[in-house]
Structure 1
Amino acid sequence: MAPTDHPGEQAADDPVKLIAVRESPLSVDEVFRAVGDAAAGGTALFVGTVRNHDGGAGVDRLGYSCHPAAEAEMRRIAEKVVAEYPVRALAAVHRVGDLVVGDLAVVVAVSCPHRGEAFEACRKLIDDLKREVPIWKHQTFSDGTEEWVGAC
């Protein structure tokens, strides 16, 4: 369904409400508030957290680093999602620096006129962010070994 198929469902003037890469802890509430829109019937939110394992190996901690263009790339991807779905509002924040198990690494949210569109747009947003944004993860495992993920 195109954004203009139903009265009152066209996309907001600037639906990209919040894009950030931060060293400080992330807030689910901040991201959720950023995508609030009276014309949205569905809001989908994804929270990525640091887990205690990866591929069967215990993870003690990890660090995220990014290219200076990471935030601009996040915006480019957000705008692509807005062009493909009837997004009312969109927000995405990613953490960099040292994190421990349980910390929030990424929070994204999308609001759309209907729930199905919100789910699809949110999934597209997080999948494309993970695949395309130059943010790299350095994992330290319980056995003392280390691994870089996403680095060239």
Structure 2
Amino acid sequence: MDISPPPLAAAQAVPSLRLAHVWWSIGFVLVATVLVLSLIPDPPQLKEDPSNWSGHLSAYGVLMAWFARLVPPARRPLAALLLIAMGVGVEFLQGMTGYRSFDPTDMLANSCGVMLGWLASPPRLPSGLVAVERLLLRRPA
């Protein structure tokens, strides 16, 4: 009996998702939410974290973890670069608003969030989307 693990490529492949359009739509809503919260005059903030590093880490971490479940492993570096570019672009836009400030340390926090999201992605942590699809698409008895 062969008990060897599956080949690495098979373990890292993106599963076939029947609701991929829904998952991608949710991802773009998440991106839009981050953009809006990044550009409104007075966004919600934790009193315990005046620099808002936790907000940056969690926002960009969630985005990366989400999209890493939707793209093949070979495309994850591109997804990470796009999210990092978004974080850099947002900082420049904030500097142009007059009511928000440009902060290079926020760029670093955003980038660290992307890396944390990548670490929380398959195969290290399961995707879960296939299981959710099974629940949503099961036929009533």
Fold-level match, TM-score > 0.5? no
The answer to which structure has the higher helix fraction is: 2
TM-score (norm 1): 0.27
How high is the TM-score relative to the length of structure 2?
A: 0.29
Larger Rg: 2
